[in-house]
Amino acid sequence: MSLIDHNSCGDYQTVRRCIELISQNWRDQPELEELALAVGLPAEKLQKTFTRWAGLSPKAFLQAVTLDHARRLLDEKMPILDASYELGLSGPGRLHDLFVTHEAMSPGVYKARGEGIELRYGFHESPFGLALAMVSERGLAGLAFCDPGGEAEALDDMKSRWPRASYLEDLEATAPYALRAFDPHRWSRQDPLRVVLIGTDFEVRVWQGLLQIPVGTATSYSQLAGAVGAANAPRAVGRAVGRNPVSFVVPCHRVVGKSGALTGYHWGLTRKRAMLGWEAGIRAAC
């Protein structure tokens, strides 16, 4: 496994702690100085670090990402697409489904547990810690996250999904996908990111439904179930969401509980909050 300069991931660790504090104490509306004291940085440095990372200040993040943020969208019972326009997401280049093109690998590949396919993998820096990218000859097949020191566990987790596939570390092959996934300036309808989905027919249908949720919005499991024609099976939809192998790009982090609560996330609830906050910054820049 290639060595990575983990010091360069320090910004995320600082921001992650700050997000935890905001998420736990959002009702108290903590001031910048309180957050800075808690993370051990001068207030000015925290302001600059957080703003550089998220594209908005800690105060703006506090306003944009609280439990009420998701709850308000759902309580208004506004269709997700309508909500995107209401929130200023009229620019089509900012709608997630327009910069990702996807295809499903044959059900036989999934049933064979990945036998006969080669997946190249590599760990890369991202706004959310280390990102493990996995690619096939057809496109991005897996995207996972971990903190420094958790690389082996994350890799084992992803390999367990397709245990009979062959794996080869290849940073040169995975780097272009990691760079594209986390750079909004390179989200383009003219040059979409290619994703290949490896799962059951039902799982693929749910993951395709996730791709219809625009940046900066949220939906509930029951709403997603209705959208993919499985209104009577929200729990099965929830399991499929949890099995999504292409995290962030196929945006399972935008699915919340019926009450608007930010429910569990395979790669950590704090990381889910971080993703929603990062996207709030992108939305604000639209």
Q: Which of 29-33, 150-154, 178-182, 255-259 has the lowest mean pLDDT?
A: 255-259
List the catalytic residue out of 9, 18, 252, 286. 252
Cα angle 5-10-12, degrees, rounded to a multiple of 5 = 115
Q: What is the pLDDT of residue 89?
A: 36
> Token digits for 212?
């219809």
Find tokens 């996730």 and name the residue.
210
> Token digits for 180?
């594209």
CB 104 within 8 A of CB 196: yes
**Where in the chain are the domains?**
6-67, 68-285
User: β-strands 118-126, 166-169: how paired?
Assistant: parallel
Q: Does domain 68-285 bear CATH number 1.10.10.10?
A: yes
Q: Quick one: pLDDT band at residue 93, thresholds 50, 70, 90?
A: very low
From 20, 14, 15, select the one nearest 262 (Cα to Cα): 20
> Does 252 qualify as catalytic in the annotation?
yes
CA distances, 102 to each of 26, 188, 245, 284 (Å): 37, 14, 13, 27
Most confident stretch, 152-161, 176-185, 214-223, 265-274: 152-161
pLDDT digit string, tens, across residues 95-143: 343 357 787 787 777 778 888 899 999 999 998 889 999 999 999 999 9
Q: What is the pLDDT of residue 36?
A: 92
CA atoms of 180 and 174, how far apart (whole Å): 10
CB 193 within 8 A of CB 101: yes
Q: Quick one: pLDDT band at residue 224, thresholds 50, 70, 90?
A: very high
* Amino acid occupying residue 152: A
Q: Which of 116-125, 191-200, 208-217 has the lowest mean pLDDT?
A: 208-217
Q: What is the pTM of this model?
A: 0.71
For residue 83, pLDDT beyond 60 = no
